[in-house]
């Protein structure tokens, strides 16, 4: 059965019955056989009868949303069954600090993304063969910048300076400004096109040096917010440098984490986009934007709810998750703990309800 948290078991059973009733009324016999409750949505596992057309179930999303009292529902294929995802009536955020304290271990060079659709922590290790570089997309209000900040902070928490260095580029110097005090930074955050260009040149030179010497440590995470603004103001050389790092940086230990509101082939260039095997996509404006951002069709990104509701695309697999974020009161506490060398991961939770 579904494991209820603050959502009661009676509520889950009622919703399960409603799903089965809607499908039965459209001659699609099906049975709900469990699921999962996450901080943001409820996932019902559904098995249609043999011979039922999957397209028919997908076309009933509006009817299901109406019956369940939800703004929208998402229907996804899951092995031999379907998943019906419904927003929770009491959605809860995922705060990064309690998230870190709840982990038993955080491997070096690993970023915390949030809580996956099955309720487990979702982590991303940069040096993994199928990762290397990450593209984060989402409109204003999607939680894109908050996700980037959480990724950088968790990388810093779990990695020593001898293992990881960080370069920040933020043309508007708003999203990444709270990260300016990290000890892992190899230079002050670049907030102007000339500063960004100079930093990218240095990083490209370092990549060439490492290639010649056959070294790849310490790893360098290059985090760029508002990438499209940077490309428009920085010109062809900025695009060329980012493309070179995307193509050759993995072997030298350089990893790009790029944030963009609306990544298009025309703006980023096909060569640049082709080198990002991992996409983290939040709410986008249309199905076409979702296809471009995710790199595949039918990802469902256009139906995401915003405020940290994301999908992760890696190796052709799509995983929905609620992104972790750092509220203002937690910033000072986390910075202070890191400065004092205090243990953060695996400590007891001291926040009520987390």
The CATH number that applies at residue 283 is: 3.40.50.300
Look at residue 2 and tell me if it is in a domain.
no
Q: Are residues 78 and 131 in the same domain?
A: no
Residue 189 and residue 196 in contact, taking contact as beta carbons nearer than 8 Å: no
| Structural domain contains residue 152 | yes
pLDDT at residue number 354: 35
Is there a domain that residue 274 lies in? yes
pLDDT score at 321: 92
pLDDT, tens only, 26-72: 988 899 988 888 888 888 999 888 888 888 888 999 999 999 988 88
Q: 321-349: buried (b, 16+ CB within 10 Å) or exposed (e) per residue? A: bbbbbbeeebbeebbebbeeeeebbeeee
Decide if 333 is inside a domain: no
* 326 within 8 A of 96, measured Cβ to Cβ: yes
User: Do residues 176 and 185 make contact, with C-beta atoms less than 8 angstroms apart?
Assistant: no
The answer to whether residue 44 sits within a structural domain is: yes
> pLDDT tens-digit profile of 91-101?
788 999 999 99
> Do 15 and 54 share a structural domain?
yes
Q: Are residues 256 and 181 in the same domain?
A: yes
> What distance in Å separates the CA atoms of residue 246 and residue 225, rounded to the nearest whole number?
16
- Say yes or no: 52 and 166 in one domain: no
Residues 99 and 245 in one domain: yes
Residues 188 and 322 in one domain: yes
Both structure tokens of 336 = 């202070």
User: To which residue do tokens 């994301």 refer?
Assistant: 310
Is residue 76 domain-shared with residue 113, that is, in the same domain? no
Q: What is the CATH number of the domain that holds 79?
A: 3.30.980.40
* pLDDT tens per residue, range 188-218: 999 999 999 999 999 999 999 999 999 999 9
In angstroms, the Cα distances linking 79 to 46, 118, 147 are 11, 14, 29
Question: pLDDT by residue (tens digit) across 255-312?
Answer: 999 999 877 766 777 667 779 999 999 998 888 888 888 888 777 788 788 889 999 9
What pLDDT sits at residue 221?
Answer: 98
Residues 234 and 265 in one domain: yes
- Let me know whether 26 and 155 are in one domain: no
pLDDT in tens, 128-161: 989 999 999 999 889 999 999 999 999 999 999 9
CB burial of residue 194 (10 Å; 0-12, 13-18, 19+): exposed
Question: What pLDDT sits at residue 271?
Answer: 67
pTM, rounded to two decimals = 0.85
Give the model confidence (pLDDT) of 310-332 as tens digits.
Answer: 999 998 888 889 999 998 888 88
pLDDT of residue 348: 47
Q: Please tell me the predicted confidence (pLDDT) of residue 256.
A: 97
**Tens digits of residue pLDDT in 219-266:** 999 999 999 999 999 889 999 999 999 999 999 999 999 999 877 766
Query: Residues 105, 65: one domain?
Result: no
Distance from chain centroid for Cα 124: 9
Count of domains observed in the chain: 2
Q: Which of 53, 87, 121 represents a domain boundary (last residue)?
A: 87
H or E element at residue 35: strand 30-37
Mean pLDDT, the chain, whole residue set:
88
Q: Which residue has the tokens 């899951």?
A: 78
**Residue among 46, 109, 108 nearest 77 (CA):** 46
Of 87, 116, 151, the domain-final residue: 87
Query: Domain range spanning residue 62?
Result: 9-87
- 5, pLDDT greater than 80: no
- Pair (50, 99) in one structural domain: no
Q: Is residue 336 part of a domain?
A: no
For residue 325, what are the β-bridge partners?
A: 95
pLDDT band of 3, cuts 50, 70, 90:
very low
Alpha carbon 32 to chain centroid distance? 28
- Bridge-based pairing of strands 219-224 and 164-169 is parallel
**Nearest-5° Cα angle at 102, 101 to 108:** 70
Q: Is 346 domain-assigned?
A: no
User: 60 and 125: one domain?
Assistant: no
Q: Where are the alpha helices (DSSP H) in the chain?
A: 9-25, 54-58, 61-68, 96-101, 144-158, 193-213, 227-252, 265-268, 270-273, 287-294, 328-339
Residues in Cβ contact with 188 at an 8 Å cutoff, skipping those fewer than 6 apart: 180
Specify if 351 maps to a domain: no
The 10 Å Cβ neighbour count of residue 39 is 20
């Amino acid at each position: 059965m579904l494991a209820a948290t603050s959502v009661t078991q009676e509520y889950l059973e009622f919703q399960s019955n409603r799903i089965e009733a809607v499908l039965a009324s459209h001659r699609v016999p099906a049975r709900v056989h469990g699921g999962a409750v996450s901080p943001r949505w409820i996932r019902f596992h559904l098995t249609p009868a043999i011979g039922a057309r999957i397209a028919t179930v997908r076309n009933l999303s509006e009817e299901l949303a109406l019956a369940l009292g939800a703004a929208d529902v998402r229907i996804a294929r899951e092995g031999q069954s379907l998943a019906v995802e419904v927003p929770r009536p009491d959605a809860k955020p995922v705060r990064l600090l309690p998230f870190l304290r709840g982990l038993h271990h955080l491997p070096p060079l690993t970023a915390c993304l949030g809580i996956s659709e099955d309720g487990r922590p979702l982590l991303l290790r940069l040096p993994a063969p199928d990762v290397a570089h990450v593209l984060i997309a989402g409109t204003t209000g999607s939680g894109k910048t908050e996700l980037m900040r959480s990724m950088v902070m968790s990388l810093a928490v779990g990695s020593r300076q001898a293992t990881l260095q960080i370069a920040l580029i933020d043309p508007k110097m708003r999203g990444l400004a709270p990260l300016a005090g990290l000890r892992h930074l190899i230079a002050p955050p670049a907030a102007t096109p000339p500063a960004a260009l100079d930093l990218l040149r240095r990083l490209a030179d370092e990549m060439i040096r490492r290639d010649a010497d056959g070294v790849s440590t310490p790893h360098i995470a290059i985090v760029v917010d508002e990438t499209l603004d940077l490309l428009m103001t920085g010109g062809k050389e900025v695009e060329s440098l980012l493309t070179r790092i995307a193509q050759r940086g993995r072997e030298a230990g350089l990893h790009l984490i790029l944030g963009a509101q609306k990544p298009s082939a025309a703006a980023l260039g096909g060569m640049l986009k082709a080198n990002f095997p991992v996409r983290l996509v939040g709410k986008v404006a249309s199905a076409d934007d979702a296809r471009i951002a995710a790199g595949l069709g039918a990802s469902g990104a256009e139906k995401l709810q915003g405020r940290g509701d994301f999908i992760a695309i890696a190796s052709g697999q799509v995983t929905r998750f609620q992104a972790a974020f750092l509220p203002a009161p937690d910033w000072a506490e986390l910075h202070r703990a890191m400065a004092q060398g205090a243990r953060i991961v695996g400590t007891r939770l001291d926040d009520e309800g987390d």
